[in-house]
Amino acid sequence: MSYILQTSHMTKTIDGKDLVKDVNIHLRKGEIYGFLGPNGAGKTTVMKMITNLWKPTEGMIELFGERLMPASYEVLKRMGSIIEFPTFYEHLNGKDNLLLHCEYMGYYHPKSVETALEMLELSEAADKPVKKYSLGMKQRLGIARVIMCKPELLVLDEPTNGLDPVGMKKLRDLFKMLCTEYGISIMISSHILSEVESIADTIGIIDHGNMIKEISMKEITEMNTAYIELNVPDTKRAAYVLADKLNLENFKITDMYHIRIYDGRITANDISKALTENGVEIGGIGKKAESLEDYFLKITRMEG
Ligand SMILES: Nc1ncnc2c1ncn2[C@@H]1O[C@H](COP(=O)(O)OP(=O)(O)OP(=O)(O)O)[C@@H](O)[C@H]1O
């Protein structure tokens, strides 16, 4: 299997605390990898190590088939990244910021700056100083800057931060286009599943510094886990019946009135019978299919 980015047991420890531990990532050439996790899960930490900003305490990173070392300049040149917020020379205009970056990277391609500005809808603002840009415009300028030099791999830490839903959608379309038309592989982190589910080929899920799952979107769609949803006025009492009378373990109270039961062996009928026999009122019961977001929430919160 050809992976252009692969990490093995990547760990970062600061002051005796593991920020992330044993992270194994496998990113194939030409794919979009959605790196998902709640706030504080360790996404930025992982991306800082992949982009050589931080050195792993333990483990290994392989980029384009080469082991990443502090002096791996040539391999790193093939990657573009935005970690946390992009920074600019605020007093210079957008266009000059991009020109400076081309110079710094030794990349001279006629029209690359104009094309990148056009792609990110910044042509009109090109001559304005960056300090006058909104947060979303700066985010877009950051993306223009990284795509300008046509990297083979893009590593983007929450790239849609600060954008409105329309802006987010436009970026998703742009990422998809960069991947399919230019063959650029992309790793995007997010804490919102819906932001990556429509474009990602593979999803890596991290929580509390641990990689919980790495799975293709195709597999998630095929799994489409079914569950029984129970609506009851007293979830505590109902949970007691499920655990003690029916010996069920795999269920979750999702809010004040709802419980989800993930156990294919029990029927809705058996559950309502047991609840009624034990004096638990039932507002409703039914079989449902799990959405991708439910799947994500289940594996990040349940195992926490
Ligand atoms: N320089 C640091 N020193 C010590 N702890 C840190 C440092 N940077 C981050 N952390 C801690 O490491 C953990 C992971 O943080 P990280 O920023 O990687 O998470 P994240 O998934 O990117 O979250 P967010 O989306 O909120 O940025 C957090 O508990 C954070 O407080």
Q: What is the pLDDT of residue 303?
A: 39
Q: Are residues 82 and 152 in the same domain?
A: yes
Q: Are residues 274 and 146 in the same domain?
A: no
Distance CA 33, CA 197 (A): 10
- Ligand 1 contacts CB of residue 19 (under 6 A): yes
Q: What is the pLDDT of residue 302?
A: 41
- Ligand 1 contacts CB of residue 50 (under 6 A): no
CA neighbor of 41 nearest in space, from 303, 302, 300: 300
- Ligand 1 contacts CB of residue 43 (under 6 A): yes
The CA 46 to ligand 1 mean position distance, Å, reads: 10
Q: Which residue among 221, 244, 276 closes a domain?
A: 221
Sheet hosting strand 284-289, strand order edge to edge: 251-255, 258-261, 226-231, 284-289
Q: What is the pLDDT of residue 31?
A: 96
- Give Cα separations from 113 to 96, 107, 118, 186, 241 (angstroms): 9, 11, 9, 21, 65
pLDDT > 70: percent of the chain: 95
Q: What is the pLDDT of residue 301?
A: 55
Stretch 169-195: mean pLDDT: 90
Q: Which residue among 167, 187, 221 closes a domain?
A: 221
**9 Cα distance to chain centroid:** 19
Q: Are residues 172 and 284 in the same domain?
A: no
- Ligand 1 contacts CB of residue 187 (under 6 A): no
| Burial (0-12, 13-18, 19+ Cβ within 10 Å), 16 | exposed
CA neighbor of 59 nearest in space, from 24, 27, 33: 24
Least confident of 97-106, 116-125, 237-246: 97-106
Residue closest by Cα to atom 29 of ligand 1: 40
Q: Are residues 34 and 11 in the same domain?
A: yes
For residue 115, what is the domain's CATH number?
Answer: 3.40.50.300
Q: Are residues 27 and 85 in the same domain?
A: yes
Q: CB neighbours (10 Å) of residue 207?
A: 20
Q: Render the burial of 224-257: b for 16+ CB within 10 Å, e for the rest.
A: eeebbebebeebeebbebbeeebebeebebbeee
Any idea what DSSP says for residue 183? -
Q: Are residues 178 and 284 in the same domain?
A: no
Q: Are residues 200 and 254 in the same domain?
A: no
Stretch 31-40: mean pLDDT: 93
Amino acid occupying residue 45: T
Q: Are residues 26 and 119 in the same domain?
A: yes
- Ligand 1 contacts CB of residue 23 (under 6 A): no
Tens digits of residue pLDDT in 70-109 = 888 889 989 999 998 888 999 999 999 999 998 888 877 7
For residue 263, what is the domain's CATH number?
Answer: 3.30.70.980
Q: How confident is the model at residue 218 (pLDDT cuts 50, 70, 90)?
A: confident
Tens digits of residue pLDDT in 270-304 = 999 999 999 999 999 988 876 667 777 777 654 33
Contacts of 243 (CB under 8 A, 6+ apart): 249
Structural domain count, the chain: 2
Q: Are residues 177 and 237 in the same domain?
A: no
Q: How confident is the model at residue 220 (pLDDT cuts 50, 70, 90)?
A: confident
Q: CB neighbours (10 Å) of residue 264?
A: 11
The CA 208 to ligand 1 mean position distance, Å, reads: 10
Q: Are residues 213 and 246 in the same domain?
A: no
Stretch 109-125: mean pLDDT: 91
- Ligand 1 contacts CB of residue 53 (under 6 A): no
- Residue 154 belongs to what domain range? 3-221
Q: Are residues 82 and 95 in the same domain?
A: yes
Q: Are residues 242 and 112 in the same domain?
A: no
Q: Which residue among 188, 221, 254 closes a domain?
A: 221
Conformation bin of residue 30: beta by default, left when phi > 0, alpha when psi is -120 to 50: left
Pick the atom of ligand 1 nearest to 41's CA.
Answer: 21
